C-alpha cells in the first residue's frame, strides 16, 4: 500500500520502492520537508530486504521544477540561510549525493521537466528513464549561480566535458531525444509505460543477478572514477578475491549448471567496501 506524507508517496511494488513526488500544482518543486522525506524514504528502502531497487518519479506534468522559490530566496544574499538540510552526515554536502552510496540501484523515471534540484536528483540516480515529453534544464546560471551540488564533477563524467559546459553555461532546455543522444538518459519510452519500464528493468535484474554483486559493482564504479588505472585494478583484485569466497559465487555456478533460477543472498548481508 502506498503512504503519502510531505508531498511524497512511498509504495513497494514488485520489489521496487516507488517514491513519487506529489506536489503537482508546483511541478513538484522541492521543499525542505520533501528533501528530508526523500532521505528518509531512501533509508527505509535500503533497509528493506524486499526492495531490490528504488524508482523516483513525479506526479502530474513535471518530474521536479527544482528548489521551491521560497527556499532559494532564503538561501541568497549576505544573510541567507547556509542550507543546513544539505549538510549530510554521509561525506558530501551535495543535494542527494548520498544516492551514489546507496547500495541498491536508483532509477529516475522522469515524466516531465527536471530542472535545478530536480535535475540534480535525476543525475544522482544510477539510471534515467525518460518519458517522451521529459525535458531537462540545469537552470543554475540563469539564477546567477554556479554548477551546484557537484554537477561540475558528475555531469562531465556522464556526458563529456564540452556537453556538460554547454548545459551548465546555457541553462537551455534539452528534450528527451537529445538527452538520449548525448547520454543524459538511458531510455526514452511513452509516458504511459514509463514507471512500468523501470519496474520491468528491476525485475530483469532481480531474476538474474546477485543483489550483493549489484551493490559491490555500484560502489566500485563510483569509487574508481576518482582513482588511476593501477589503483582501481588493485582495488578490483582485492574485491574479486573476497567475492570468490562468498556463497553467491558458489550459487551462481551451481544455478547455471543445474539450469535453475539463482537464489542469491540479500544485500543486507553485506558486501565488500
* pLDDT tens for each residue of 140-196: 877 788 768 889 899 999 999 999 999 999 999 999 999 999 999 999 999 999 999
**Average pLDDT of 123-148?**
89
Report the C-alpha gap between 172 and 242 in whole angstroms: 46
Q: Are 64 and 115 in contact (CB under 8 A)?
A: yes
Report the C-alpha gap between 47 and 214 in whole angstroms: 16
Contacts of 48 (CB under 8 A, 6+ apart): 12, 17
**Average pLDDT of 2-18?**
88
> In the CATH scheme, what is the code of domain 3-206?
3.90.226.10
**Alpha helices (H) along 22-175:** 32-47, 69-75, 117-124, 151-159, 161-170
210-269: in CATH 1.10.12.10? yes
Domain ranges of the chain: 3-206, 210-269
pLDDT at 265 over 50: yes
**Alpha helices (H) along 171-271:** 176-182, 194-208, 211-224, 229-245, 247-257
Give CA angle at 205 (202, 206), nearest 5°.
85
pTM exceeds cut of 0.75 = yes
pLDDT at 77 over 50: no
Report the C-alpha gap between 96 and 98 in whole angstroms: 5
Contacts of 98 (CB under 8 A, 6+ apart): 39, 42, 88, 90, 92
Q: Strand, coil or helix: what is 58? A: strand
Amino acid at each position: 500500500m502506498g503512504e503519502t506524507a510531505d508531498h511524497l508517496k512511498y509504495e513497494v511494488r514488485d520489489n521496487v520502492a516507488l517514491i513519487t513526488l506529489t506536489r503537482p500544482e508546483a511541478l513538484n518543486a522541492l521543499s525542505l520537508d520533501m528533501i528530508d522525506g526523500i532521505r528518509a524514504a531512501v533509508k527505509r528502502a535500503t533497509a528493506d530486504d524486499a526492495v531490490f531497487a528504488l524508482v523516483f518519479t513525479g506526479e502530474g506534468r513535471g518530474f521536479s521544477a527544482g528548489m521551491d522559490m521560497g527556499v532559494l530566496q532564503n538561501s541568497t544574499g549576505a544573510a541567507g540561510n547556509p542550507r543546513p538540510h544539505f549538510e549530510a552526515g554521509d561525506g558530501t554536502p551535495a543535494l542527494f549525493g548520498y544516492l551514489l552510496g546507496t547500495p541498491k540501484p536508483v532509477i529516475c523515471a522522469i515524466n516531465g521537466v527536471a530542472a535545478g534540484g530536480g535535475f540534480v536528483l535525476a543525475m544522482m540516480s544510477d539510471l534515467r528513464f525518460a518519458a517522451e515529453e521529459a525535458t531537462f534544464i540545469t537552470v543554475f546560471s540563469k539564477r546567477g549561480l554556479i554548477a551546484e551540488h557537484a554537477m561540475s564533477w558528475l555531469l562531465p563524467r556522464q556526458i563529456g566535458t564540452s556537453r556538460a559546459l554547454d548545459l551548465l553555461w546555457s541553462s537551455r532546455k534539452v528534450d528527451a531525444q537529445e538527452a538520449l543522444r548525448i547520454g543524459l538518459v538511458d531510455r526514452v519510452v511513452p509516458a504511459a509505460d514509463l514507471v512500468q519500464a523501470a519496474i520491468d528493468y528491476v525485475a530483469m535484474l532481480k531474476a538474474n543477478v546477485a543483489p550483493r554483486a549489484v551493490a559491490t559493482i555500484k560502489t566500485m564504479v563510483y569509487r574508481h572514477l576518482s582513482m588511476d588505472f593501477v589503483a582501481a585494478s588493485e582495488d578490483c583484485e582485492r574485491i574479486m578475491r573476497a567475492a570468490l569466497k562468498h556463497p553467491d559465487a558458489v550459487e551462481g555456478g551451481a544455478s547455471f549448471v543445474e539450469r535453475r533460477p539463482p537464489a542469491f543472498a540479500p544485500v543486507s548481508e553485506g558486501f565488500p567496501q
